[in-house]
Amino acid sequence: MSETTSRVLRLLGLLQSRRVWTGRELAERLGVTGRSVRRDIDRLRELGYPVHASPGQGGGYQLGAGAALPPLLLDGDEAVAVAVCLGLAAGGSVAGIGESALRALSKLDQVMPARLRSQVSAVHEATVTLSSRSEAAVEPKVLMTLARACRDREHVSLRYTALRGAVTQRRVEPYQLVTTGRRWYLLAYDRDRADWRSLRLDRMSDLSALGTTFVAREAPDAAAFVGRAISSSPYRYVARVRYRCPHDVVAQHFSPSSATIEPEGPESCLVTTGGDEPERMVLWLASIGRDFEILEPPEVIAAAQQMGQRLAGAASAGDR
């Protein structure tokens, strides 16, 4: 491979790794002059890569979308990651993507080096999917639109159907997508409600990116925010419980979608979880077999007291 060809490929890799590069940044990364960068940009355009140039502050070179998809450059780790994700996509939570994923995987597998193919095979052989259907499948168009809007800080408009069926129009600033494996969520700032929201993608409709951008706010941790929302907000009662055991022990019994767990010390942690029936909540909280204290709400505390009395009576009856 000639030095020029190698440099052009490096330039392509840089353009794919970030949205906008200035000519000076590219020249410094490649160790060449600005004139050489411009010549290499022209070479990429001749090969079908749509490289756009915008002048002024905030401008630079940007790899755009063309009429056809040009070849992508993937390093070894990226190729393995793409192949693993494509292999799992048929049983994932994106609607109608299985057949397309298999076609893309076959193309990638055809050109993948043997050492990388063995890594992909090892992951697939060690993985089993419990169900091939998702109860909350997401349309690929919705997922891709939101992913781009998160990246580009672009306003989005959508219709949202809440848990109890109410339909509202939302104008949001999308920040990050979160998946639990079964469902997709969006952390977004709701402009009309002036607050952060966790929104399920499968409940969205009439979604569109508006083409206008926003200045990023200081956002909460996406995983923690969504975790709290999905473990408590849909329920009538939200309980806070102190377990007298380490965080890691409790985490083995609760999924991220069922409870939020906060370490309180080496031998204590706080759990926040929701439910509609206090007695069932008490049974569930007690099922992990560790000492715990219900801090709130009063209804769940009362249910625990009543259940304790019944269990004590059952135990004393056995001694007669």
In order, the DSSP letters of 96-112 are T-HHHHHHHHHHHHHHS
pLDDT digit string, tens, across residues 109-127 = 766 788 887 887 777 677 6
Q: Is 140's pLDDT higher than 80?
A: no
Whether residue 41 lies inside any domain: the answer is yes
Confidence grade of residue 206 (pLDDT, cut at 50, 70, 90): very high
Q: Is 133's pLDDT higher than 60?
A: no
Confidence grade of residue 272 (pLDDT, cut at 50, 70, 90): confident
pLDDT digit string, tens, across residues 9-64 = 889 888 887 888 999 999 999 999 999 999 999 998 888 888 999 887 767 899 88
pLDDT digit string, tens, across residues 221-255 = 888 888 777 766 667 888 899 999 998 888 888 87
Distance CA 185, CA 187 (A): 7
Lowest mean pLDDT among 104-113, 195-204, 233-242: 104-113
Whether residue 70 lies inside any domain: the answer is no
**Strand, coil or helix: 221:** coil
Q: Identify the domain containing residue 51 by its residue range.
A: 3-63
Count the domains in the chain.
Answer: 4
Per-residue burial over 309-318, b if 16 or more Cβ lie within 10 Å, else e, is eeeeeeeeee
For residue 151, the domain's CATH number is 2.30.30.520
Distance CA 283, CA 297 (A): 15
Whether residue 228 lies inside any domain: the answer is no
Backbone angles phi, psi at 206, to 5 degrees: 50, 45
For residue 57, the 8-state DSSP code is T
Residues 120, 155 within the same domain:
no
Q: Is 139's pLDDT higher than 80?
A: no
Whether residue 88 lies inside any domain: the answer is yes
* Region of residue 48 (phi > 0: left; psi between -120 and 50: alpha; otherwise: beta): left
Whether residue 230 lies inside any domain: the answer is no
pLDDT computed for residue 26 by the predictor:
93
For residue 262, the domain's CATH number is 3.30.70
Distance CA 233, CA 215 (A): 28
Higher pLDDT, 105 or 247: 247
